[in-house]
Structure 1
Amino acid sequence: MNLEQQLIQRLQELSPVHLEVVNESSGHGGYFPGKESHFKVIVVSDIFQGLRLVQRHQKIYAAAGDLLAPSRIHALAIHAFLPSEWQGQDTPSPECAHAPKAE
Protein backbone atom coordinates (compact mmCIF):
# COMPACT_ATOMS: atom_id res chain seq x y z
CA MET A 1 0.00 0.00 0.00
CA ASN A 2 1.50 3.37 -0.98
CA LEU A 3 1.70 6.39 1.37
CA GLU A 4 -1.32 8.11 -0.17
CA GLN A 5 -3.49 5.03 0.42
CA GLN A 6 -2.17 4.66 3.97
CA LEU A 7 -2.94 8.32 4.71
CA ILE A 8 -6.48 7.96 3.34
CA GLN A 9 -7.01 4.85 5.46
CA ARG A 10 -5.80 6.55 8.64
CA LEU A 11 -7.84 9.72 8.10
CA GLN A 12 -10.99 7.58 7.89
CA GLU A 13 -10.86 7.36 11.71
CA LEU A 14 -11.98 11.03 11.74
CA SER A 15 -15.32 9.99 10.16
CA PRO A 16 -15.07 12.48 7.30
CA VAL A 17 -18.12 13.41 5.27
CA HIS A 18 -15.63 14.66 2.66
CA LEU A 19 -11.98 13.67 2.31
CA GLU A 20 -9.47 14.65 -0.35
CA VAL A 21 -5.84 13.61 -0.31
CA VAL A 22 -3.72 15.19 -3.03
CA ASN A 23 -0.15 14.10 -3.74
CA GLU A 24 1.66 17.37 -4.47
CA SER A 25 5.13 15.85 -4.56
CA SER A 26 5.71 16.63 -8.25
CA GLY A 27 5.71 20.37 -7.45
CA HIS A 28 8.64 20.08 -5.05
CA GLY A 29 12.39 19.80 -5.35
CA GLY A 30 13.95 16.38 -5.70
CA TYR A 31 10.83 14.92 -7.29
CA PHE A 32 11.06 11.76 -9.34
CA PRO A 33 8.16 9.66 -10.69
CA GLY A 34 6.55 7.70 -7.87
CA LYS A 35 7.90 9.91 -5.08
CA GLU A 36 5.45 10.53 -2.25
CA SER A 37 6.62 13.28 0.10
CA HIS A 38 4.23 16.25 -0.03
CA PHE A 39 0.47 16.00 0.43
CA LYS A 40 -2.53 18.24 0.87
CA VAL A 41 -5.57 17.00 2.77
CA ILE A 42 -9.06 18.40 2.98
CA VAL A 43 -10.99 16.83 5.83
CA VAL A 44 -14.61 17.74 6.52
CA SER A 45 -15.95 16.16 9.70
CA ASP A 46 -18.27 16.71 12.64
CA ILE A 47 -15.41 15.53 14.87
CA PHE A 48 -14.01 19.09 14.63
CA GLN A 49 -17.07 20.56 16.40
CA GLY A 50 -15.96 22.97 19.15
CA LEU A 51 -12.27 22.69 18.23
CA ARG A 52 -9.95 25.55 17.35
CA LEU A 53 -7.96 25.26 14.13
CA VAL A 54 -4.79 24.09 15.91
CA GLN A 55 -6.78 21.35 17.68
CA ARG A 56 -8.21 20.19 14.35
CA HIS A 57 -4.70 19.96 12.93
CA GLN A 58 -3.57 18.02 16.00
CA LYS A 59 -6.32 15.44 15.38
CA ILE A 60 -5.12 15.03 11.79
CA TYR A 61 -1.47 14.74 12.89
CA ALA A 62 -2.48 12.10 15.45
CA ALA A 63 -4.40 10.11 12.83
CA ALA A 64 -1.48 10.27 10.37
CA GLY A 65 0.92 9.18 13.12
CA ASP A 66 4.23 7.74 11.98
CA LEU A 67 3.50 8.52 8.33
CA LEU A 68 4.70 12.03 9.17
CA ALA A 69 8.43 11.45 9.16
CA PRO A 70 11.21 12.89 6.97
CA SER A 71 11.67 9.56 5.21
CA ARG A 72 7.93 9.26 4.55
CA ILE A 73 5.64 12.31 4.40
CA HIS A 74 7.83 15.39 4.52
CA ALA A 75 5.07 18.01 4.31
CA LEU A 76 1.32 17.99 4.91
CA ALA A 77 -0.93 20.92 4.04
CA ILE A 78 -4.10 20.68 6.13
CA HIS A 79 -7.55 22.13 5.49
CA ALA A 80 -9.98 21.02 8.22
CA PHE A 81 -13.64 22.03 8.12
CA LEU A 82 -16.93 21.32 9.82
CA PRO A 83 -19.65 20.33 7.35
CA SER A 84 -21.34 23.71 7.96
CA GLU A 85 -18.10 25.50 7.01
CA TRP A 86 -17.35 23.50 3.87
CA GLN A 87 -18.57 25.09 0.68
CA GLY A 88 -16.24 23.33 -1.76
CA GLN A 89 -13.63 26.05 -1.27
CA ASP A 90 -10.59 26.23 -3.46
CA THR A 91 -7.61 25.29 -1.30
CA PRO A 92 -4.56 26.11 -3.42
CA SER A 93 -1.10 25.34 -2.14
CA PRO A 94 1.74 27.86 -2.42
CA GLU A 95 4.50 27.28 -4.95
CA CYS A 96 7.55 25.56 -3.52
CA ALA A 97 10.76 27.60 -3.66
CA HIS A 98 12.58 24.40 -4.68
CA ALA A 99 10.07 23.30 -7.30
CA PRO A 100 11.42 21.96 -10.58
CA LYS A 101 11.75 24.82 -13.06
CA ALA A 102 9.98 24.65 -16.41
CA GLU A 103 12.48 24.54 -19.25
Structure 2
Amino acid sequence: MTYRERIESKLNAAFSPAELTIRDDSEKHRGHAGYRPEGETHFHVRIVSAAFDGQNRVARQRAVYRALKAELDERVHALSLETLTPAEAA
Protein backbone atom coordinates (compact mmCIF):
# COMPACT_ATOMS: atom_id res chain seq x y z
CA MET A 1 0.00 0.00 0.00
CA THR A 2 1.39 3.43 -0.92
CA TYR A 3 1.62 6.24 1.61
CA ARG A 4 -1.06 8.11 -0.31
CA GLU A 5 -3.37 5.10 0.05
CA ARG A 6 -2.52 4.81 3.74
CA ILE A 7 -3.31 8.49 4.29
CA GLU A 8 -6.61 8.16 2.43
CA SER A 9 -7.63 5.06 4.38
CA LYS A 10 -6.80 6.54 7.77
CA LEU A 11 -8.46 9.88 7.13
CA ASN A 12 -11.62 8.20 5.81
CA ALA A 13 -11.75 5.99 8.92
CA ALA A 14 -11.07 8.79 11.39
CA PHE A 15 -13.18 11.62 9.93
CA SER A 16 -15.75 10.19 7.45
CA PRO A 17 -15.09 13.18 5.20
CA ALA A 18 -17.60 14.67 2.79
CA GLU A 19 -14.60 15.56 0.63
CA LEU A 20 -11.02 14.31 0.65
CA THR A 21 -8.33 15.34 -1.82
CA ILE A 22 -4.74 14.16 -1.45
CA ARG A 23 -2.00 15.43 -3.71
CA ASP A 24 1.63 14.28 -3.69
CA ASP A 25 3.68 17.47 -3.93
CA SER A 26 7.03 15.77 -3.38
CA GLU A 27 8.50 16.72 -6.75
CA LYS A 28 7.96 20.40 -5.96
CA HIS A 29 10.38 19.96 -3.05
CA ARG A 30 13.31 18.47 -4.95
CA GLY A 31 16.51 19.47 -3.16
CA HIS A 32 14.71 20.38 0.09
CA ALA A 33 14.82 18.59 3.42
CA GLY A 34 13.01 15.27 3.48
CA TYR A 35 12.83 14.91 -0.30
CA ARG A 36 13.23 11.43 -1.77
CA PRO A 37 13.44 10.72 -5.51
CA GLU A 38 10.73 8.04 -5.23
CA GLY A 39 8.26 10.63 -3.86
CA GLU A 40 5.61 10.33 -1.18
CA THR A 41 7.31 12.72 1.23
CA HIS A 42 5.32 15.95 0.83
CA PHE A 43 1.52 15.95 0.60
CA HIS A 44 -1.28 18.47 0.35
CA VAL A 45 -4.54 17.32 1.96
CA ARG A 46 -7.93 19.00 1.69
CA ILE A 47 -10.44 17.39 4.01
CA VAL A 48 -14.01 18.51 4.63
CA SER A 49 -15.66 16.82 7.59
CA ALA A 50 -18.44 17.44 10.08
CA ALA A 51 -16.03 16.01 12.67
CA PHE A 52 -14.32 19.43 12.63
CA ASP A 53 -17.46 21.32 13.74
CA GLY A 54 -16.66 23.41 16.81
CA GLN A 55 -12.89 22.98 16.47
CA ASN A 56 -10.43 25.71 15.63
CA ARG A 57 -7.80 25.30 12.89
CA VAL A 58 -5.08 24.13 15.29
CA ALA A 59 -7.29 21.46 16.87
CA ARG A 60 -8.31 20.17 13.43
CA GLN A 61 -4.71 19.95 12.25
CA ARG A 62 -3.61 18.22 15.46
CA ALA A 63 -6.36 15.64 14.94
CA VAL A 64 -5.11 14.94 11.41
CA TYR A 65 -1.51 14.68 12.63
CA ARG A 66 -2.61 12.20 15.33
CA ALA A 67 -4.42 10.08 12.73
CA LEU A 68 -1.31 10.04 10.51
CA LYS A 69 1.35 9.69 13.21
CA ALA A 70 2.82 6.46 11.81
CA GLU A 71 3.15 7.90 8.31
CA LEU A 72 4.78 11.08 9.63
CA ASP A 73 7.19 9.05 11.77
CA GLU A 74 8.14 6.75 8.90
CA ARG A 75 8.36 8.74 5.68
CA VAL A 76 6.05 11.70 5.22
CA HIS A 77 8.11 14.82 5.80
CA ALA A 78 5.46 17.51 5.32
CA LEU A 79 1.70 17.94 5.17
CA SER A 80 -0.02 21.04 3.86
CA LEU A 81 -3.53 20.92 5.31
CA GLU A 82 -6.90 22.44 4.51
CA THR A 83 -9.28 21.27 7.24
CA LEU A 84 -12.84 22.51 6.75
CA THR A 85 -16.36 21.87 7.94
CA PRO A 86 -19.05 21.29 5.32
CA ALA A 87 -20.45 24.79 5.99
CA GLU A 88 -17.04 26.38 5.40
CA ALA A 89 -16.54 24.44 2.18
CA ALA A 90 -19.91 25.45 0.72
Choose which of 36, 53, 78 in structure 2 pairs with 1:49. 53
Q: Does 1:7 align with 2:7?
A: yes
Superposed counterparts of 1:3-42, under 5 Å: 3-12=3-12, 13-30=14-31, 31-32=36-37, 34-42=38-46
Letter in 2 for 1:75: A
Counterpart of 2:76? 73
Aligned to 2:68, the other structure's residue is in SS state helix
Distance in 1, matches of 2:11 and 2:58, equals: 17
Structure 1 residue 63 displacement after superposition: 1.0
Bigger CA radius of gyration: 1
Distance in 2, matches of 1:53 and 1:36, equals: 25
Structure 1 unaligned residues grouped into runs of 5+? 88-103
Distance in 2, matches of 1:4 and 1:14, equals: 16
Structure 1 residue 51 displacement after superposition: 0.4
**CA RMSD in angstroms, aligned pairs only:** 1.2
Deviations 1:29-88 (A, max 9, x none): 2452x321000000100000100110000110111121012x50000001000001014x
- Paired residues, number: 85
Q: Equivalent pairs: percent with the same residue? A: 32
Distance in 2, matches of 1:64 and 1:40, equals: 13
Structure 2 unaligned residues grouped into runs of 5+? none
Aligned to 1:26, the other structure's residue is in SS state helix
